[in-house]
Amino acid sequence: MRRGASARPSDPGVERALRALDEIHRTVPLETRPVVLSAEYLRAVAQVEALAENQTGADKTWVERVVRQSREHFASARRIR
């Protein structure tokens, strides 16, 4: 998978996702290899776990609503070219 400079998105999140997809493409047939996580990312995960809304007893009904809406949104997507 090769992407030209003109098609390169400026959004760093999209960039990272595309890099991951490039990596997947390069590793066909699909390879499994352990991932080393950065200390910074692991600290961020701990920060999220420590949030009040992520403690036992939290109401996560809204997550199901968002997942359902997201699935309906993508299910209605149509190829336009």
Partner 1 sequence: MWGANYHAHSAGVIFTTEDRDLFLPADADNELRAWNACRREGFELWSGQEPLREPLDAFLAEKVVSNRALVRAQGHDLLIDLTLVMSGFEFEEVWAKRRVFTVQGVDVPVASLSDIVASKAAAGRPKDQLFLATHEDALRQLLGGRFGRKT
Site for partner 1, rule CB under 8 A: 12-13, 16-17, 19-21, 23-24, 27, 30-49, 51, 53-61, 63-64, 66-67, 70-71, 74
Residue 54 contacts residue 48 (beta carbons within 8 Å)? yes
- Which residue, 4 or 12, is less far from partner 1 as judged by CB? 12
Smaller CB separation from partner 1, 53 or 76: 53
Q: Which own/partner pairs from 54-62 qualify as long-range (CB within 8 Å, at least 24 positions apart)?
A: none
Amino acid at 52: A
**Interatomic CA distance for residues 44 and 26, integer angstroms:** 29
Q: How far is the CB of 29 from partner 1 (least distance, A)?
A: 10
